Each structure stands twice: as structure tokens, then as C-alpha cells.
Amino acid sequence: MAQALAGPEIERLIQLLGRLPGLGPRSARRAVLHLMRKREELLVPLADAMRVAAERIVTCDNCGNLDTQSPCTICRDSRRDPSILVVVESVGDLWALERAGALRANYHVLGATLSPFDGVGPDELSLPKLVERATGGAVKEVILALNATVEGQTTAHYITDLLTEVGVKVTRLAHGVPVGGELDYLDEGTLSAALLSRTTIG
Ligand code: ZN
């Protein structure tokens, strides 16, 4: 580890920020320096905002999204089409699809994808709740918006089998999602196109 430049409080801040995705130790150091210079305008409000968020973040009981309320903001939004349920692996994927803005639907966050080699089986995924939501009668179509990875596709097959008995239409993202592609890294246009030209699988 590099030699300490500052007191332990600052070093701790650099260390913690350096764990964020996309920030290495160098960027973390630069960010901390910026925060220290902008103490009143940035560091203090950021610290307050983080404390409030840390106290209030909950997992939505309905869909698995992260928010400060459950049901979450998306589940409470009555302007969304209740007949479409978009299944994603993670909250990051949900955010990516919302950013693309192609559909105003409801979501279901699985929390993981099946990966037998890593010991991730069906019990690790939020599947009973998905089946319950798909069974209610309001949902007519379930869109599997899963990564184009082996795990994502294995999970898609598993869910398709699971939902066959429920009698809802099951679709998946169309071309545009490259093999091995992770949704979070795709641009909005590609995501919109993949959603709008989805194909039926069950
Ligand atoms: Zn929700």
C-alpha cells in the first residue's frame, strides 16, 4: 500500500471511495481532495445525504428494487402498464432499462442468475414471488430482460418452464444484445431496440 498522505480519517475516506465501481485508489484520492476543498458546498451535504440514504434504504417487498420505501417508487407508479412485467437480474439492470425509457412497465428483480458452478440455485432467486405476481391475472406478458450470458440464458429457460403452467406470454430481448453482453453496459438506443423487438419464447 502507498504511504499515507494524510491523517487516518482522510486515508479511510480514500480507502472507502476507492472500493466504488469505476474508482481506483488514484481517482478516490482525487475525489477526496475535491471534497476537502469543497467542504461546505459538497462534503457536508454529501455526508448528510449518505447518512439519510443509509438509514432509509430498503428492498421493495414487491419487486426487489432498492429504494427508501416499500413498495418502491416504481411499484407505486400507477401510470405504468400493469400487464407487462420485466424480469431483470439486478437493480442496475432495472435502472439501465428505465434510463432507456422504452416501456413503462413493472419490474421484478431476481437478485441473481442461476450458476450451478458457483452454487447459485433456484432458491437464491426471487422466483416464488415472481410466480405469484405472474399468476395474479393482471400480468399478460413477462419479458425476460436477462444478460446474454450462459447464466442469463439458463435462467431464462428455467423461468420460461416455470411460467408455462401460469399461462402468461413469455418474451425475451431481441437482437441488439451482444452475446456475453451485460445490460448495464449497453447504451439506451440498443436497450430500447432490444426491448421493443422482443421475441416470444413461451
Ligand atoms: Zn417495487
**131 occurs within a structural domain:** yes
Domain that holds residue 122: 80-172
Residue indicated by cell numbers 414487491: 62
Write the CATH number for 123.
3.40.1360.10
**164 occurs within a structural domain:** yes
Count the domains in the chain.
1
Among positive and negative, which fits the CA dihedral 14, 20, 25, 27?
A: negative
**68 occurs within a structural domain:** no
- Tell me how far the alpha carbon of residue 74 lies from the centroid of ligand 1, in angstroms: 6
- Tell me how far the alpha carbon of residue 71 lies from the centroid of ligand 1, in angstroms: 5
* pLDDT the model gives residue 202: 65
Q: From CA 134, how far away is CA 60, in angstroms rounded?
A: 17
Give percent of the chain with pLDDT exceeding 70: 95
- Tell me how far the alpha carbon of residue 49 lies from the centroid of ligand 1, in angstroms: 22
Stretch 71-100: mean pLDDT: 94
Q: From CA 199, how far away is CA 156, in angstroms rounded?
A: 13
What is the helix (H) or strand (E) element at residue 202, kind and residue range?
A: none
Q: From CA 17, how far away is CA 4, in angstroms rounded?
A: 15
Stretch 145-168: mean pLDDT: 90
Closest to 159 measured CA to CA, from 129, 187, 127 = 127
* pLDDT the model gives residue 190: 78
- Tell me how far the alpha carbon of residue 5 lies from the centroid of ligand 1, in angstroms: 44
pTM for this entry: 0.81
- Tell me how far the alpha carbon of residue 61 lies from the centroid of ligand 1, in angstroms: 7
Angstrom CA distances, 136 to 123, 150, 152, stand at 22, 30, 25
